[in-house]
Copies of this chain bind each other. A is one copy, B any other.
Amino acid sequence: MKTLIILSHPDVSGSSTQQFLMAATQTLENVTLHHLEKYYPQGNINREYEQTLIADHDRIIFQFPLYWYSSPATLKEWQDVVLDEKKIDDWQGKEFGIVVIAGVAKKEYQAGGREIFTMDELMRPYQAVANKFKWQYLPIFGIYQFAYMTESCKQKLLIRYQQYIMLGNSQSLADRMAWFQHQLTEVSRTKEASVQHKIDLIKEQLQANQEELEMLRFTLDELE
């Protein structure tokens, strides 16, 4: 599966969240990070090129900061220029996800909260686009108040973000464990022998944990 991240942000250098996420995508295989404002500093989105990008990938992710309960204008411009109902048959069967960064706490996005609507509700226009193109709509990946997160929270976020980008809808425990093992193997390659040995121990421990979890699940199934 190849993932295309269409990033819209007018000032990524000034955004610690975007810097953090962009660093997290650099080492990932089969992931194309496409930053619209960087690629088109003068505007003038190239319809044909963008349509080729969509055709070439299996999973499309919109990534943006929430500006007035939607994306920055550039991503809307991209939609207006690039999306084409004539491509529904060519493009069908892809996965479609949203990584949205909000400065307000998650609890405000609900009835009775300051923002009244859930993020799911606010993103309906994108869900309708996914529906139109017969794309599988992934659960929204929302990042709320990144600046207030502890370092440990940020690291956990990084893992979940990478899994969202690379696994999309295939996020069972087994899928995520396999992903972890693969990532550890990749990291291990560039390290010295002593570090490689430690990583091997971690991998063995993960493997043992997974087997134990599977045993527990088997026992649970027997009890039911």
A→B interface (CB under 8 Å): 43, 67-74, 76-77, 79-80, 83, 115-117, 121-122, 124-129, 131-132
Q: Which residue of B lies closest to A131 (CB)?
A: B116
Q: A125-B125, A128-B116 are in contact. Are A73 and B67 (CB under 8 A)?
A: no
A129 to B116 Cα, complex, angstroms: 11
Copies in the complex: 2
Known: A69-B125, A121-B124. 12 other contacts (CB 8 A): A67-B76, A68-B79, A68-B80, A68-B83, A70-B76, A73-B74, A73-B77, A76-B76, A77-B77, A116-B127, A116-B128, A117-B127
Query: Which residues of chain B are near A80, meaning CB under 8 Å?
Result: 67-68, 72-73
24 of the cross-chain contacts (CB-CB < 8 Å) are A43-B43, A67-B79, A67-B80, A68-B76, A68-B79, A69-B129, A70-B70, A70-B76, A72-B80, A73-B73, A73-B77, A73-B79, A73-B80, A76-B76, A77-B77, A115-B128, A115-B131, A116-B127, A116-B131, A117-B127, A121-B124, A122-B124, A122-B125, A124-B124
Query: Which residues of chain B are near A69, meaning CB under 8 Å?
Result: 124-126, 128-129
Task: Name the contact of A73 in the complex, choosing from B76, B124, B128 (C-beta under 8 A).
Answer: B76
Query: Which residues of chain B are near A72, meaning CB under 8 Å?
Result: 76, 80
The reply to whether B128 and A124 form a contact with Cβ atoms under 8 Å apart is no
- 3 pairs of A and B residues whose beta carbons are closest in the complex: A69-B125, A73-B77, A73-B76
The reply to whether B117 and A70 form a contact with Cβ atoms under 8 Å apart is no
A64 CB, nearest partner CB in chain B, Å:
11
Q: Which residue of B lies closest to A69 (CB)?
A: B125
Q: Which residue of B lies closest to A120 (CB)?
A: B124
Max chain B C-beta neighbours (<10 A), residue from A71, A77, A117, A128: A128
Query: Which residues of chain B are near A77, meaning CB under 8 Å?
Result: 73, 77
Query: Which residues of chain B are near A127, meaning CB under 8 Å?
Result: 116-117
Q: Which residue of B lies closest to A130 (CB)?
A: B116
A121 CB, nearest partner CB in chain B, Å:
5
A45 CB, nearest partner CB in chain B, Å:
10
